[in-house]
């Protein structure tokens, strides 16, 4: 076990770029990190690390040794997963990135159930709308919504995601209900700045209609947009998983349902590789079981209005 700790420490120092960062990630003191590296270099009879203006970098021998350490540690993790699956248990630390609004509303309860079902599994979640670097930031997986760009990652689609226009009954009473996408011109629109596409798009038969929304209130928070819409400030373009409860309660009304919206996806992405760690596999299986097919939030919306096809 001591030798394995030294190997993991050596890999962590290189990947994090320094003793202090490695100590923080491994939750040990810098002196322990230094002693492990010294023991490793003494046992091997060669220097593995050197200091430079860029921080700590591996020597030529260190580069070769790290490649072999990566293989050894990966095979050890695979062996542990195989044994754990025999007993149907999952252990280790799952480091996950998830979108803020979806993560807090829908993913957090699922992860709580996952933790209860697997007492030896640690779960470390970063809720952020920033697209993290899975490999560089050492994430095991990420939940992502929308169109994916990084083709090097392994992707599993979990469920469809639909956008829906909504407004409060009070807003519609004061400003009128838009009947076509073109009617949105002149309306107070609530603009989500986290979107990569500034237009709101609709389908009319085979024709795509794009509208550039205008409004006084903008935010990179979907939850803030939701609260503004409920308060009657304007019209919001939001994912159904965020607004379905408000639609069902009557706080918001869906608009332009006869103009279908482009469909996106709820995905789990992981770093490339044929081996799927048990902790990632059980995450994917749980999400497919919970959200696969037509999710609850779309069933609620479909029941509200038949014109919207959510298949």
pLDDT tens track for 150-195: 677 888 899 888 899 999 999 999 999 999 999 999 899 999 988 8
Confidence of residue 134 (pLDDT cuts 50, 70, 90): confident
For residue 17, pLDDT over 50 is answered with: yes
Q: What is the DSSP string of the chain?
A: -HHHHHHHHHHHHHHHTSHHHHHHHHTS-HHHHHHHHHHHHHHHTS--EEEETTEEEE-HHHHHHHHHHHHHHHHHHHHHHHHHHHTT---EEEEEEE-HHHIIIIIHHHHHHHHHH-TTEEEEEEE-SS---TTTTT-SEEEEES----TTSEEEEEEEEEEEEEE-HHHHHHH----SGGGGTTS-EEEETT-S--SEEEEETTEEEEE----S-EES-HHHHHHHHHTTS-EEEEEHHHHHHHHHHTSSEEE-TTSPPPEEEEEEEE-S-S---HHHHHHHHHHHHHHSSS-HHHHHHHHH-TTS---
Whether residue 276 is predicted with pLDDT greater than 90 in this model: the reply is: no
Residue with the larger pLDDT of the pair 75 and 133: 133
* pLDDT score of 274: 67
Domains of the chain (ranges; CATH) run: 2-86 (1.10.10.10), 92-160+264-298 (3.40.190.10), 162-262 (3.40.190.10)
pLDDT-based confidence at residue 309 (cuts at 50, 70, 90) = very low
* Torsion region of 205: left, alpha or beta (phi above 0 gives left; psi -120 to 50 gives alpha): left
Going by C-alpha positions, the residue among 253, 197, 243, 193 that lies closest to residue 218 is 193
Q: By C-alpha distance, which of 57, 59, 53 is closest to 17?
A: 57
pLDDT digits (tens, 9 = 90+) for 65-121: 988 888 888 777 767 666 655 455 677 889 999 999 899 999 999 999 999 988 988
Task: Please check whether residue 129 is in contact with residue 100, taking contact to mean a CB–CB distance below 8 angstroms.
Answer: yes
pLDDT at 12 exceeding the cut of 90:
no
Distances (CA, A) of 244 to 6, 157, 250, 303: 51, 21, 10, 11
The per-residue pLDDT for range 25-58, each reduced to its tens digit, is: 888 898 999 999 999 999 989 999 987 766 788 8
Q: How confident is the model at residue 311 (pLDDT cuts 50, 70, 90)?
A: very low
pLDDT of residue 310: 37
Identify whether the C-beta of residue 111 lies closer than 8 Å to the C-beta of residue 123.
Answer: yes
Residue 215 has, within 13 A of its CA and on its CB side, a CA count of 24
Residue 287 pLDDT grade (very low, low, confident, very high; cuts 50, 70, 90): very high
Q: What was the pLDDT predicted at 137?
A: 82
**Percent of the chain, pLDDT > 90?**
40
pLDDT, residue 160, reads: 87
């Amino acid at each position: 076990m001591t030798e394995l700790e030294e190997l993991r420490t050596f890999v962590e120092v290189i990947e994090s770029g320094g003793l202090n960062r490695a100590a923080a990630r491994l939750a040990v003191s810098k002196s322990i990190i230094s002693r492990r590296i010294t023991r490793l270099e003494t046992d091997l009879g060669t220097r593995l690390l050197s200091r430079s203006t860029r921080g700590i970098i591996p020597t030529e021998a260190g580069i070769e040794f790290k490649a072999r350490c990566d293989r050894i540690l990966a095979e050890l993790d695979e062996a542990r997963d195989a044994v754990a699956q025999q007993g149907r248990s999952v252990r280790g630390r799952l480091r996950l990135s998830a979108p803020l609004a979806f993560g807090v509303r829908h993913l957090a309860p699922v992860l709580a159930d996952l933790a209860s079902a697997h007492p030896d599994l640690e779960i470390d979640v970063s809720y952020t709308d920033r697209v993290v670097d899975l490999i560089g930031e050492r994430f095991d997986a990420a939940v992502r919504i929308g169109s994916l760009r990084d083709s090097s990652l392994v992707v599993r689609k979990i469920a469809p995601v639909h956008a829906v226009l909504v407004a409060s009954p009070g807003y519609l009473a004061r400003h009128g209900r838009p009947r076509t996408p073109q009617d949105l011109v002149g309306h107070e629109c609530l603009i989500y700045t986290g979107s990569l596409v500034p237009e709101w798009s609709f389908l009319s038969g085979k024709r795509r209609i794009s509208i550039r929304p205008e409004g006084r209130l903008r935010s990179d928070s979907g939850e803030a947009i939701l609260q503004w819409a409920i308060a009657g400030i304007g019209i919001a373009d939001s994912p159904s998983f965020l607004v379905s409860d408000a639609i069902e309660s009557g706080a918001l009304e869906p608009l332009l349902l006869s103009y279908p919206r482009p469909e996106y996806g709820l995905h789990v992405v992981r770093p490339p590789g044929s081996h799927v760690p048990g902790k990632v596999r059980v995450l994917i299986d749980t999400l497919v079981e919970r959200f696969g097919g037509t999710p609850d939030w779309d069933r609620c919306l479909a029941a509200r209005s038949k014109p919207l096809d959510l298949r």
